[in-house]
């Protein structure tokens, strides 16, 4: 499941817990991202992974990919917060292939990640 995290108006932030499904993306993530794009014409995104990446269903991955492609030119800043080094490295590499900046952070760096996504630090 995915829960939205309250933050500033220029960011959408989520926490993933247990199993993450296609419906989680369709009911929580997609509407929030669509609303943000309508409001500020860009995406500042934060995802805290409090579950194993294996708990994302195939449908969740597909919705994530479709959302990313649909708004390819709108990505500004995106951060993934996890303690998995492979996910952090993968996220950091996204900036080389997708427009926008992508960074991975450890869980203890949550506030730093949120401040970066909000645009308060570079």
Q: Tell me the per-residue pLDDT of 21-73, one tens digit each, with 9 for 90 and over.
A: 999 989 999 999 999 999 999 999 999 999 988 888 888 877 777 777 777 88
pLDDT at 121: 87
pLDDT, one tens digit per residue, over 8-33 is 999 999 999 999 999 998 999 999 99
Q: What CA dihedral angle connects 65, 84, 101 and 47, to 10 degrees?
A: 60
Question: What gap in Å lies between CA 100 and CA 67, rounded to an integer?
Answer: 15
User: How many structural domains comprise the chain?
Assistant: 1
The domain in which residue 37 lies consists of 2-118
Hunting for tokens 């492609």 — which residue is that?
Answer: 69
Q: Number of helices (H) and strands (E), helices first, in the chain?
A: 5, 5
Average pLDDT, integer, range 85-95: 86
Please, what's the b/e burial string for 88-116 (b: 16 or more CB within 10 A of its CB; e: otherwise)?
A: beebeebeeeeebbbbbbeeebbebbbeb
pTM value is 0.91
Mean pLDDT of the chain: 90
For residues 92 and 102, is the Cβ–Cβ distance under 8 A? yes
> Domain with 93 in it: what CATH number?
3.40.50
């Amino acid at each position: 499941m995915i829960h939205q995290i309250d933050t500033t108006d220029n960011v959408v932030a989520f926490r993933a817990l247990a199993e993450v499904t296609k419906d989680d993306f369709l009911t929580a993530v997609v509407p929030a991202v669509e609303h943000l794009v309508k409001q500020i014409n860009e995406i500042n995104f934060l995802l805290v992974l409090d579950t194993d990446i294996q708990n994302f269903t195939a449908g969740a991955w597909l919705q994530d990919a479709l959302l990313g492609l649909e708004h390819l030119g709108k990505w500004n800043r995106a951060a993934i917060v996890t303690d998995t080094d492979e996910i952090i490295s993968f996220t950091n590499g996204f900036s080389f292939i997708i427009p926008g900046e992508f960074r991975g952070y450890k869980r203890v760096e949550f506030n730093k990640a949120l401040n970066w996504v909000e645009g308060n630090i570079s």
